[in-house]
Chains A and B, each alone.
Chain A
Amino acid sequence: MAYEPEPQADGLDDSHDPTLTAALGGDPDAVRALWQRHRRWVAGVLLAYKPRHADLEDLLQDVAMTFVRRLGDLRDPTSLRPWLRSVAINAARLAARKARSRPDLAPARRSPVEHVARPAGDDAPDVLAARREDATRLLDLALNLPESYREPLLLRCIHGMSYREIGLVVGLPETTIETRIARGRRMLRELAARHAIGPTPATEGATP
């Protein structure tokens, strides 16, 4: 019988989540539903930790495979998110180690979101193209922030992730997440100002 995933009250209580319980019991449809629920933020974690050249989709495939293979070993349902995060970080770091151990055959170092920088078409308005360019460069700069600021800041950009949910993934209190996001934004604005991205900065009066 096909599994019908039940909605969660707030999406955060894994200990009483029927989909997770069914997935841990080996129900393939529940495993599929659970992966679909979490894959976007997992991609966000990979984006935060992966080396620039590594392909996000390939890494996500690796994480999905580990998820399917090892989910049954998970004993504590509340540890799903931290476990999934650690799987993603390990996949990203493994890609970095592999990259260090072999010569870079790529003709040029590409931006992780190079495709975003391209205008939608020849007739795309200049303003729109400039904004896309700014967005790409801003993400590139965000990827240069320290890990502890970079990860929550990027996760916050994943639609629907609250401070609390990010805290559950990263394993930190909401207040810490809020502070890191605020500080990360400040650092990013300062970096953007140095690289002349976006609006002319008004850092006068702002404190670091």
Chain B
Amino acid sequence: MSGADRDILISRALDGEATPEDWSAFRAMADRDPAIWRELAEAQQDRAELAAAVAHAVAVADEVNAPIEQHLSERLTFRIRTVAAWSGWAIAAGLALAALVGPWQPRHGADAQNASLVPGLVRINSPQDALDAYYNRGQADGTVLGELPERIVLQTTPFENGVEVIYVRQIVERLRADDFYRLAYDEAGRPVPVRFEPTPRPTRAD
């Protein structure tokens, strides 16, 4: 039996993988060379010590979780930046929209004196009022379909007697375009847009 075979036999015995045939071969070898028993004992001690050291070193892994929230937050930041880059167009579109629908009146009898006023355009008392206007106009022209009931929580922080929650609202829109891009990352981890061909996908109702 070669040295390599001897090493494999000892290694199998250490790992609990030795078959009855392996043990027979081991005993036969030990009859000729009793030193193999000592070799096995030493190898067992090495194995136990190395396993303990490795287990201790990699135990830190139990503290490292998948950074889902950070990833979602990064994606959101990227999208906000993308929106900001197109804000010039958005403002122009907003002005055009206001010109079409006329001055917008606050709902629920809100005090017009407290309303923010964009001169000659719209009055808005709260973010919800602005969102309602967006929904109304979007649903009228078919570009806004609704909002998903699930909200994605990004961060929760204790706040006075309660909890402050930062979350994402998911609004479903319809878009018709010639080119589509998805978000990907290059080797350095930088976000890059990648053109792709969307495949027709049935609706949930289908």
On A, residues with C-beta under 8 Å from B are 28, 31-32, 34-36, 39-40, 42-44, 47, 56-57, 60-61, 64-70, 73, 112-113, 115-116, 131, 134-136, 138-139, 142, 153-154, 156-159, 163, 178-179, 181-183, 185-186, 188-189, 192, 198-199, 201-202, 204-208
Other-chain residue from B7, B53, B63, B70 in contact with A182 (beta carbon distance below 8 A): B7
CA distance A181 to B9 in the complex (A): 11
B68 touches A47 (CB 8 A): no
Residues of B contacting A115 with CB < 8 Å?
56
Residues of A contacting B62 with CB < 8 Å?
39-40
Residues of B contacting A64 with CB < 8 Å?
64-67
A32 touches B58 (CB 8 A): no
Cβ contacts B114-137/A at 8 Å (1 or 0 each): 000000000000000000000000
A208's nearest neighbour on chain B, judged by CB, is B3
Shortest Cβ gap from B49 to chain A (Å):
4
CA distance A35 to B66 in the complex (A): 6
Interface of A is mostly: helix
A185 touches B47 (CB 8 A): yes
Other-chain residue from A43, A69, A116, A182 in contact with B189 (beta carbon distance below 8 A): A69
A186 touches B7 (CB 8 A): yes
Other-chain residue from A36, A56, A113, A206 in contact with B65 (beta carbon distance below 8 A): A36
Indicate whether B144 reaches chain A with its CB closer than 8 angstroms.
no
Other-chain residue from A39, A44, A73, A131 in contact with B54 (beta carbon distance below 8 A): A44
Shortest Cβ gap from B36 to chain A (Å):
7
Indicate whether B57 reaches chain A with its CB closer than 8 angstroms.
yes
A70 touches B185 (CB 8 A): yes
Other-chain residue from A43, A67, A136, A163 in contact with B66 (beta carbon distance below 8 A): A67
B35 touches A204 (CB 8 A): yes
Residues of A contacting B70 with CB < 8 Å?
65, 68
Other-chain residue from A57, A188, A207 in contact with B63 (beta carbon distance below 8 A): A57
